Structure 1
Amino acid sequence: MASIERFSFYSLLALILWLPIPLGSNRDWAWSIAEFWIAFQSILLIIAYRGNLPFEPLKQYIWLLSGLALFQLWVLFQSLPLPWEVLAFFSGKSAEIYQLVGAPEGFISLDSRMTLASLFKGIAYTMLVFNAIYLVNSSKRLKQVVLVIVISGTLQAFYAAMVVLLDIKESLVFGYSEIGIATGSFVYKNHLANYLMMTLCMGIGLIVSQLHTSPSESRHMFVKRLMEGILSRKMYIRLCLVIMVIALVMTRSRMGNTAFFAATAIGGLLALVFYKNKPRALTILVGSVIAVDTIVVGALFGLEKVKQRLVETSLGAESRDQVVVWSLDIIRDFPFTGTGMASFYTIFPMYSKADIGFYDHAHNDYIQFMVEAGIPATLLLGLVILLAFARAFHTIRKRHSRTMKGIALGCIMSIIGMLIHISVDFNLQPMANALTFILILFIANACSALPALGQLVSIPPKSNQADGLKEPEHV
C-alpha cells in the first residue's frame, strides 16, 4: 500500500509538469485529461489508505477546502433546473429571460451546459487540494512539489525562448503560428507570462529557503560558503530564474512583467521588515532579481519593447476597458446569483453597446467572477486567497524553519503577482494557471500546517520507510 501512496505522489508531480503542455490545458479535451488524472489519483489514494482516510490532516486546511467546496455547491445550484417561482425568487432576471424565449424550464445560469462543464473543473480543483493534503505531508515532499513547479516553468521558458530565438514560424506540436513573441505551449502570451510569474516567485522562495541565517565568523567561512553556494543546487535554481526572466520579457506582456516586478519588490520589502531571522543575503538576492534579471538580462532580450508597449498603451486604442465598464451593467442586473460560470461570452453581447469584436472573457477576472458567480461567491473565493496569504505571512514572521519561511515567501509573492495580473486579464480561466495557483494556495497553508521536523502527518502503514524524511528545523 505504501508503494501506491508513493505512486500517487509522483503522479501529482507529473501532473504539475503536464498541465501547461497541452495548450495550457485550456481546451475541453485537455482539461478532461487533467480531470480524469485527478480522479484516478483520488481512487489510488483511497486504495492506499484502505478506505480509512484520517480526518485529522484536513483540520489545518478547513478554510481552503470549505471555501472551494462551497463555491462548487453554488455552481451546482446555478446549473440545476428550478421551478419558476424558485428561480424568480433567486434571480428574477434569469427567469424573465428564460420565459421570454419560451423555455420549458429555467436555470440561474444562462448557459447551463457550460456551467456544468465549469462545475466538473471546479470539482477537480477541489479534489486536487484534497489529494495534496494527504500526499504532500512532509517538508521534503513540499520542497519536491515546489521544485517541480520551478522545473515546469523553466521548461516552458526554455521552449518559448528557443522558438523565438530560432525564428520558428509554427509551434512544433499543434502547428499554431508563431509571431516572434514567446508563448511556450500556451496559445496566449499573457497566460505564459502569468505562469512564469508564479514559477519565478516560487523559485525565489526556494532559494531563500537555502540561504544562511547566521553571519560568517571569518573571511575563510565567507569564502567557503560562497564556493559552496556556487557549487550547490542554489545556482541551478538561480539559472532557472534567469531563463524564466528571459522568456517572461520575451512574452512582451506588459502586466505580466509589471506584476512580477511588483510582486518581487513588495514581497521583498515585506520579507526585509517582517522575516524572522532573515538571511543576511536576502537583500542581495531580492536586489539581484530586480536589478540583474529584470534590467540587465531584460535589456538584452527585449525589455525595451515591453517598455515601449507600456508607453504606447492608450485607453482610446484599447477596447478591453469598455468590456469592463459594460460588464458592470451585468453585475448590476445579477448581483447575487451571477449569470452562471463560463457564461460570460453568452451574456456579454446583450450588454455590448458597440461593435468591438468578440469577447469570450472580460479580461479582468475580478469582473468576470462577479458577472458569472455573483458578488457573494466571488467574495468567498477572495476570502480563501486572503486567508492563505495571512497564513504564509504568519509563517515568515513566526516560524523558525528556513524551508517553510522561504517557500511561504514565494507563495506571498505569487499571490501578490496574481492579484495584480488578473485585474487586466483572464489568467484564472486556463486550467494550468488556475490549478497551479490553487496548488500555491495549498502550499501557503502547508507551510504553516506541516510539522517542523518534516515527519509525515498521516500515512499508510510503513510508507515512511523509503522517504527518509528528516529535515531539522533551522534557527
Structure 2
Amino acid sequence: MTRIERGCWYSLLLMLVWLPIPLGSHRMWSWSIFEIWIACQTLLLTVSLWHQFPWQKIRKFVWLLAPLSLFQLWVAIQAIPLPLEVLRVIAPDVAQIYRQAGADVGSLSYDRYATFTGLMKGIAYTLFALNAVILIDSVKRVKTVLYALVISGTFQAFYGGLTILLDVRQSWVFHLPQGNRATGTFVYFNHFANYLVMCLCLGIGLIISQLHQTESGSWQVRIRRWFSALLSAKMMIRLCLIVMVIALIMTRSRMGNAVFFSVIACGGVIALCFYQRRPRALTALIISMMLIDTLLVGTLFGIDKVKQRIESTSVAAETRDQAVAWSLDIIRDYPLSGTGLGSFYSTFPHYTHYNIGYYNYAHNEYIQFAVEAGLPAVVLLSLPILIALWFCFRGIRTRHSKTLKGTALGCLMGILAMLAQISVDFHLQAPANAVTFILILVLSGCVRYIQIRPANHSVAAEMATV
C-alpha cells in the first residue's frame, strides 16, 4: 500500500465522520466542501494507483457504479440546452412548450441551475462510491468503517441528547433555533433520526460479529466469558447503541422510531431463521434491544411522547398525502423525461389545487425522483438496491467470516430502514444521509466479493470459532 493510498483511506474515514457535522452537509457551502474533498481524493487515488488500477475490483461493482454513472449522464442531458429537433425526439411535450414560446433550443429541465447543482452532487456521490469500492478491500477495513460510523453516530447522539437535556435554545456551533426535539448537528430532526437508524443498524451488525459461536461447555467458562465481555469492545459498542437509541427517541420522529424497532424485529427473525452457525447470544441480544432499549431506556427518555405523536397523527391534519397525490399528475405529464433533477419546488406549485403551504420536496423520495428524473431513472436506481439486498441475504447464509456475516445483517436492516423512511420524507436530499446509504450499498458488495485468505493469520483468526 502506498503512502498516498493510506492517506486516502484515512481521509475516507474522516469524511464519514465529518459529513453530518456541518448541518448534515445540507447547505450549499457544506456540500461544496464535500464535492471538492472527494474530487481531490479521487485524483490523488488515481495517480497513486495509475500503474496498477484495480479494474477487476471495479468490474465486480459494476452493478452499483454503472447505474450511478448512467443516472448522472441522464441528469447532464436534462441540464444541457438541446436543439428543438433533438428535444422533440426525447420529450415531444417539452419541445412543444419551447416551440410555442418561439425558442430555438430548450432543455428537459425546467430549472437548469437546480439540475446542474444536483448533477454536481451526483458526481460527488459516484466518486465516493468509487473511492469506497477501491479502498474497502479487506475484512479489517470493513470492520474499521463500521467502527467509524458507530463513533460518528454516538457523537451525534451525545451532542443531540445533551442539547435537549440542557434545554439549549440555540445550537452551539451554528446558532440555529433549537426546539424540544434532538437534531444533533443536523437542521431537520427527521434527517437526524434517519442517520441514527443507519448507524444503529450497522452497529448491531458489528456487535453481532463479535459474539461467541461455540458453546460455553461449563458455568466456569460461561462466567469467564461474561466478565470478559464486560471489559471488551462489545460492551462499549452496546453502550454506544444505547446512547443512539436515547437520541433517536429524543427526536420524537414517528417514522424513525417505528422503523428502527421494526427492522430490529425483522432482522432478528431473518438472523434466527437463516444465520448459519448462529451465535448463541444472538437471541439474547435481539431481546435486549427490544426490551431494554424500548421499555427501560424509552420510558426514561420519553418514548411516551413518540407514542402520543403517532396516536395523534391524522390524515386530516397532514398535507403530505396531498403533495404526493398532486405529484402523480406531474409524473403523468412527464413519465419518461421528468421535469429536471431539483426542479420539484418550482414545478409543484403549478399542480396544486389549493394552498397547503410551501413544499420544496415531495416528502416521498420515490415520487420525487419519478417527478424530476422520470420513471426509467427510478427503475435504474432501484436495481443496485435490489442487488445489494440479495448480496446481504446470501452473505447471512453463506459467508464464514463473522465480520462479513454481521455486516450483511446490518446492511440488510439499514437498507430496509431507508426504503421505509424515504416513503414519507426526503432523507436522500441530505448529503450526509445519501453518502451513508451509498456506503451501505458498497459494504453489501464487500460482503459478496471480499475474499478470505486463510493463510493470513489475522483473517484465519477472524474465521476461527472462539
2:214 and 2:280 in contact (8 A); partners too:
yes
Q: Which amino acid aligns with 2:4?
A: I
1:16 shift after superposition: 0.2
Counterpart position of 1:296:
296
What amino acid is the match of 2:428?
L
- List per-residue Cα deviations over 1:320-342 (Å, max 9, x = no partner): 11000000000101111111111
Percentage identity across paired residues of the two chains: 52
* Partner amino acid, structure 2, of 1:224: R
**Partner residue of 1:418?**
418
Unaligned runs of 5+ in 1: 457-466
Q: For residue 93 of structure 1, report the CA deviation from its aligned partner.
A: 2.8
Is the contact between residue 453 and residue 473 of structure 1 (CA under 8 Å) also seen in structure 2? no
> Which moved further from structure 2: 263-272 or 203-212?
263-272
The residue number in structure 1 matching 2:95 is 95
Q: C-alpha displacement at 1:250, in angstroms?
A: 0.4
Which residue matches 2:358?
A: 358
Cα shift at 1:47: 2.4
Report if aligned partners of 1:161, 1:247 keep a CA contact under 8 Å in 2: yes
Counterpart CA distance in 2 for 1:345 and 1:377 is 19
Q: What is the rounded CA distance, in whole Å, between the counterparts of 2:256 and 2:92 in structure 1? A: 39
Q: Is the 8 A contact 1:94 1:110 kept in 2?
A: no
CA distance in 1, matches of 2:458, 2:405: 22
What's the CA shift for 1:454? 8.5
Distance 1:474 1:386, change over 3 A: farther
SS of alignment partner, residue 360 of structure 1: coil
CA distance in 2, matches of 1:181, 1:199: 19
Taking a change above 3 Å as real, the CA distance of residues 102 and 189 of structure 1, as seen in their structure-2 partners, is farther
Q: 1:217 to 1:468 in 2, by over 3 A?
A: closer
Q: Is the 8 A contact 1:8 1:45 kept in 2?
A: yes
Matching of residues 28-427 of structure 1 within 5 Å:
28-427=28-427
Moved more, 68-77 or 234-243: 68-77
Whole-angstrom distance in 2 between the partners of 1:8 and 1:468? 23
CA distance in 2, matches of 1:206, 1:98: 55
In structure 2, relative to structure 1, the CA distance for the partners of 1:471 and 1:329 (3 Å cut) is farther
Alignment match, 1:460: none
CA-CA distance at 1:299 after TM superposition: 1.3
Aligned residue in 1 for 2:462: 472
Deviates more, 1:266-275 or 1:84-93: 84-93
Q: 2:429: which partner in 1?
A: 429
Question: 1:452·1:472 contact (CA, 8 Å) conserved in 2?
Answer: no
Structure 2 CA distance for aligned equivalents of residues 100 and 354 of structure 1: 28
Corresponding position of 1:439: 439
Say if 1:308 and 1:100 are closer, same or farther in 2 by CA, change over 3 A. farther
CA deviation digits over 1:229-258, x for unaligned, max 9? 111000110000000000000000000111
Distance 1:261 1:98 in 2: 50
Q: C-alpha distance in 1, partners of 2:398/2:52?
A: 34
How much does 1:446 deviate? 0.4
Q: 260-269 or 186-195, which moves further after superposition?
A: 260-269
Amino acid at match of 2:232: S
* Counterpart contact for 1:400–1:474, Cα < 8 Å: no
Question: In the superposition, relative to structure 1, how do residues 468 and 43 fare at CA in structure 2: closer, same or farther (>3 Å)?
Answer: farther
Residue 203 of structure 2 aligns to a residue whose secondary structure is helix
Distance in 2 of aligned mates of 1:66 and 1:140:
27
CA distance 1:6–1:229, change in 2 (3 Å): same
Aligned-pair CA distance for 1:262: 1.2
Judged with a 3 Å threshold, the aligned counterparts in structure 2 of structure 1 residues 281 and 329 are, in CA distance, closer, same or farther, namely same
Letter of the 1:106 counterpart: G
- Aligned pair in 2 of structure 1 residues 274, 469: CA closer, same or farther (>3 Å)? closer
Contact 2:22 2:185 (C-alpha < 8 Å) held by counterparts: yes
Superposition deviation, residue 295 in structure 1: 2.2
Q: Within 2, Cα distance between the matches of 1:472 and 1:262? A: 30
Residue 90 of structure 1, CA deviation? 1.7
Mapped partners of 2:453, 2:154: distance in 1: 29
Q: Deviations over 1:7-40 (max 9, x none)?
A: 1000000000000011100111111100111111
The alpha-carbon distance between structure 1 residues 100 and 309, as it changes in their structure 2 partners (threshold 3 A), is farther
Secondary structure at the residue paired with 1:472?
helix
Shift of 1:223: 0.8
Say whether residues 1:11 and 2:11 are aligned partners. yes
Distance 1:262 1:333 in 2: 36
C-alpha RMSD of the superposition: 1.6
Whole-Å separation in 1 of the counterparts to 2:240 and 2:2? 33
Shift of 1:470: 6.6
Paired letter, 1:281: A
* Count of matched residue positions in the alignment of Structure 1 and Structure 2: 465
1:459 — aligned with what?
A: none
Aligned partner of 1:461 in structure 2 is: none
Query: CA, structure 1 residues 218+357, in 2 after alignment: closer, same or farther (shift >3 Å)?
Result: same
Does the C-alpha gap of structure 1 residues 474 and 374 become closer, same or farther in structure 2, counting only changes over 3 Å? farther
Unaligned runs of at least 5 residues, structure 2: none
CA distance in 2, matches of 1:64, 1:15: 21
Q: Name which of structure 1's ranges 320-329 and 40-49 shifts more when overlaid on structure 2.
A: 40-49
Mapped to 2, the partners of 1:453 and 1:300 lie a distance apart of: 47
- Residues 138, 469 of structure 1: 8 Å contact kept: no
- C-alpha contact (below 8 Å) 1:20/1:185 kept by paired residues: yes
Structure-2 separation of matches of 1:444 and 1:155: 25
2:179 and 2:248 map into 1 onto residues whose CA distance is 16
Give the partner amino acid of 1:26. Answer: H
Structure 1-normalised TM-score? 0.95
- Alpha-carbon distance in 1 for matches of 2:222, 2:99: 76
Q: Is residue 71–residue 381 contact of structure 1 (8 Å, CA) maintained in 2?
A: yes
Q: How far apart are the structure 2 equivalents of 1:245 and 1:454?
A: 37
Cα 1:277–1:93 change in 2 (3 A) is same
Name the SS for the 2:361 alignment partner. coil
Structure 2: distance between partners of 1:97 and 1:310: 44
SS in 2 for 1:338: coil
Q: Distance in 2 between matches of 1:131 and 1:9?
A: 9
Give the deviation of 1:99 after TM superposition. Answer: 3.9
- The Cα of 1:107 is off from its aligned counterpart by 0.8
